[in-house]
Structure 1
Amino acid sequence: INALLDGKPRYEHMGVPRDLWEANDWDAINEVIRQRYIDMPLRDVAGMFFGIHGKLIERLNSMTVEDLLRPYSAYQPGSTWDAPILKWVRLNTFEHYAEHTLWMERIARKHDTSVANLLASIGGGWDTLNAYLDSLTEAQRTELADAGGWTVKDHVIHLAIWEDTMNALLEGQDALSAVGVDQETWDNDHPHGVNAVIHRRYQDLSWEQVQQKRGEIHDRLLAKVGALSNADLMRPHSDFDPGSTSSEPLLSYFAGNTFGHYAEHLPWIKAIAEAPPEDEPTTVADLLARIGQGWDEFNA
């Protein structure tokens, strides 16, 4: 974001080949970054991170709300994107901190590979999500929407359908069976195209119908998980999906489709339910406060 605000190509600043950047291959881009810094001592990483953060806060303090609402293309040479620069500030600060916090927590918990711990993690995430959903009005759940047209209800059914892929997996089926997309869409437009299919298919359900469906899916999954052994959680994905060649343990798929997925979407759900008109801050101070809160929670 510092490079973006300085008008420098982001891919150059990050040391990523332009063709890789333009292909939007985020896994490959992130691997380039990981390899570049993998041998850097933690103290040096922390020093670099805090320095970058301080520079960004200083830069944002000098900006106005009007600056934040200028299009991305006004800052990035060669771009035609017209969404406000604010979107990228949010995505790469407090929303990004929250996203990675759950993955780091997952790594920290990895030593406990028991069914009991998995059920506790799923239950804790489920309760946290439901406590927030229960606090919302009907309008917040079903009428307010983000820039992409997603409501809170859309996020909730999205979480349920992906959770159901774990039911399918434990029944020896592939994820396509639960999601209901064709092989071509799965292979060539995953995850965005797949998520768009889910969004279109379920967007007309009422809140009550969504709640009923997700409850049934969740109860089925808890029963299936409870019947597993600790050893089952460490068996490779390919043992459960006949078409898979993945050697990743079954346990690693649960986080991304249950408690980790809930935590990933909760900030987006909150952004919809609590957003001011058009989801824009009223002042630069408001943006800085949200970045500061996310920064403090991340570092805690």
Structure 2
Amino acid sequence: MTEYVTKAELLTRMQDGYTAFTALLSSLSDEQLTTPGVNGKWSIKDNIAHLSTWEKSVITALDALHNYVEPGNPTAGMSEDEQNELYYQANKDRPLSEVRNEFATVSQEIQSAVERLSDDQINSPLPWSTSTNPIWPWIAGNTYEHYEEHAQIIEKWLATQQP
């Protein structure tokens, strides 16, 4: 059984994860942020855009939950790898400053979307989902756990770049 998490706990974890991830990013040069090959063909910038895109999908679902409507799913039927490639193609040519600004904005928006939910809502499944799992692990997986996953990828790559 999944643990019960309060909204306050979830928001703290989200903010702490964001703070740790952005601290890592702030230590890097623009060249490091835009060099391809971090994971596959992706640069760190591409990883940042990837995180924002997945957070936006969570925001859409949480807004729908808040408004008591079922959201559409433009990527229905696509595998996670197919979605990631679609998102990569859509973002790969965007300027670094735009991607970084969007990441900051989207991270604030997802915090706001979670703040609008009750403890009961975050510990319940999405009403339109066939899953019986609460939504908070899904939020975690697309915020602080996702930041940690990509921070590890970035740190591993950085270790190969050191002389």
Q: Same fold (TM over 0.5)?
A: yes
Please state if 1:171 is matched with 2:63: yes
Separation in structure 2 between the aligned mates of residue 144 and residue 165 of structure 1, nearest angstrom: 25
1:131-182 deviation per Cα after TM superposition (whole angstroms, max 9, x unaligned): 00000011100024236211001111111111111101112254734xxx3x
Superposed CA offset, 1:3-59 (max 9, x none): xxxxxxxxxxxxxxxxxxxxxxxxxxxxxxxxxxxxxxxxxxxxxxxxxxxxxxxxx
Name 1:209's counterpart in structure 2.
98
Shift in alpha-carbon separation, 1:160–1:147, aligned structure 2, 3 A: closer
Q: Does 1:138 align with 2:30?
A: yes
Residues 202 and 269 of structure 1: CA distance in aligned 2, closer, same or farther (over 3 Å): same
| RMSD over aligned Cα atoms | 2.1
Residue 267 of structure 1, CA deviation? 1.1
- What code does the residue aligned with 2:144 have? F
Change (3 A) 1:147 1:255: closer
Higher normalized contact order (CA 8 Å, seq sep 6+, divided by chain length): 2
Correspondence for 1:259: 144
SS of equivalent residue, structure 1 residue 210: helix
Correspondence for 1:22: none
How far apart, in 2, do the equivalents of 1:142 and 1:156 lie?
Answer: 11
- Corresponding residue number in structure 1 for 2:134: 249
Residue 229 of structure 1: how far off its partner (Å): 1.2
Letter in 2 for 1:133: L
- 2:155 aligned with 1:270: yes
Change (3 A) 1:147 1:135: closer
Aligned to 1:199: 88
Shift of 1:207: 1.1
CA drift of 1:113 comes to 1.0
Aligned length: 158
TM-score (norm: length of structure 2): 0.87
Per the TM alignment, residue 256 of structure 1 is displaced from its structure 2 partner at its CA by 0.9
Q: Deviation at 1:272?
A: 2.8
Change (3 A) 1:272 1:175: farther
Which structure 2 residues correspond to residues 8-19 of structure 1 after superposition, within 5 A?
none
Please, which of 3, 6, 10 is the counterpart of residue 118 of structure 1? 10
Distance 1:263 1:210 in 2: 19
TM-score (norm 1): 0.49
Larger radius of gyration: 1
Is there any run of 5+ residues in structure 2 with no aligned partner, and where? 65-69
Separation (CA, whole Å) in 2 of partners of 1:272 and 1:154? 14
Please tell me whether the aligned partners of residues 255 and 261 of structure 1 are also in contact (alpha carbons under 8 angstroms): yes
- Using the alignment, how far apart are the partners of 1:112 and 1:265 within structure 2? 26
1:229 corresponds to which residue? 118
Shift of 1:201: 0.8
1:147 and 1:266 map into 2 onto residues whose CA distance is 11
1:150 aligns with 2:47: no
Q: 2: distance between equivalents of 1:268 and 1:147?
A: 7
Shift of residue 276, structure 1, vs aligned partner: 3.1
Is the contact made by 2:50 and 2:87 (CA closer than 8 Å) also made in structure 1? yes
- SS at the partner of 1:171? helix
Which aligned segments of 4 or more residues in structure 1 are displaced greater than 4 angstroms? none
Paired-residue identity, %: 25
1:220 and 2:109 aligned: yes
